């Protein structure tokens, strides 16, 4: 990129309005182009978030090839499956990623002392807020942009996700390079490149979060129906936008 163009980008004020045409322009183009724009515009202050789902693995693969120095972080709630931690170790070896662990600073014992035991079953929104939303907000205060692995067809809240958008909650630019991909495209990429993935996906867990809030689902059911099963909750909150 020419120096003049870089200077111009450095002075742009990122808003919903300035990002919308950029996002529209990326429709129909490969995720690598969205990532390249992100690196050219924000590096080194851009980080990839992962919950170790299949979409995140695709992005980690692309990022490890395009900009291996990029920060890749995960939210450690202290309640991740052991298979998820094993996958993290495998990705470290296979893709050379050095993960940044983001933690709320509150042990489960301290949380139980303050809010009572098994908060996830009584007040899951508060539990997610303490262990995911707030730590994410604090971490993103150190970045100018973040990359996520969400796709439009995962939940109703994600249906209008832009490839590039303004994150009103965290006041940061948010890149969603796989927003318009299907699950099939994701798995094709994983299989073609023989990438590791969570073995729980082969035993009825299409979507995996914290172990107390993730159940297996029957064949053909909504892939996310095992998350907070039986509750009127489909999102942990990190991808919900603050009201304008």
Q: Would you name the residues annotated as active-site residues? A: 236
The answer to whether 176 and 165 have CB atoms below 8 angstroms apart is yes
Q: How far is the CB of 111 from ligand SF4 (least distance, A)?
A: 9
Q: How far is the CB of 210 from ligand SF4 (least distance, A)?
A: 3
Partnered with residue 37 across adjacent β-strands are none
Nearer to ligand SF4, 128 or 136 (CB): 128
Nearer to ligand SF4, 166 or 228 (CB): 228
The residue of the chain with the least Cβ separation from ligand SF4 equals: 210
Q: How far is the CB of 214 from ligand SF4 (least distance, A)?
A: 8
Nearer to ligand SF4, 196 or 212 (CB): 212
The answer to whether 73 and 48 have CB atoms below 8 angstroms apart is yes
Show Cβ contacts of residue 163 under 8 Å, excluding neighbours closer than 6 positions: 23, 26, 27, 34, 175, 176, 177, 179, 180
Geometric angle at alpha carbon 28, from 239 and 179, rounded to 5°:
15
Catalog residues that contact ligand SF4 under the rule CB under 6 A: 77, 79, 120, 124, 127-128, 131-132, 209-210, 212-213, 236
Q: Tell me 133's DSSP state.
A: I
């Amino acid at each position: 990129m020419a120096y003049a163009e870089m200077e111009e980008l450095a002075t742009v004020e990122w808003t919903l309005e300035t990002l919308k045409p950029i996002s529209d322009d990326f429709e129909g183009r490969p995720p690598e182009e969205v990532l390249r724009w992100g690196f050219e515009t924000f590096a080194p202050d851009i980080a990839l978030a992962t919950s170790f789902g299949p979409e995140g693995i695709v992005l980690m693969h692309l990022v490890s090839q395009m900009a291996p120095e990029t920060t890749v972080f995960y939210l450690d709630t202290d309640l991740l499956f052991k298979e998820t931690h094993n996958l993290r170790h495998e990705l470290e070896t296979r893709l050379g990623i050095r993960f940044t662990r983001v933690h709320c600073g509150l042990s489960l014992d301290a949380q139980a002392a303050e809010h009572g035991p098994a908060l996830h079953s009584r007040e899951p929104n508060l539990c997610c807020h303490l262990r995911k939303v707030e730590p994410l907000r604090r971490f993103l205060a150190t970045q100018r942009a973040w990359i996520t692995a969400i796709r439009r067809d995962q939940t109703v809240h994600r249906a209008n996700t832009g490839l590039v958008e303004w994150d009103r909650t965290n006041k940061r630019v948010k890149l969603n390079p796989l927003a318009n991909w299907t699950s099939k495209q994701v798995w094709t990429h994983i299989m073609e490149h023989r990438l590791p993935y969570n073995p729980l996906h082969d035993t009825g867990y299409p979507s995996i979060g914290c172990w107390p809030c993730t159940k297996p689902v029957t064949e053909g059911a909504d892939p996310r129906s095992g998350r907070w099963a039986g509750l009127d909750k489909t999102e942990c909150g990190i991808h919900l936008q603050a009201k304008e």
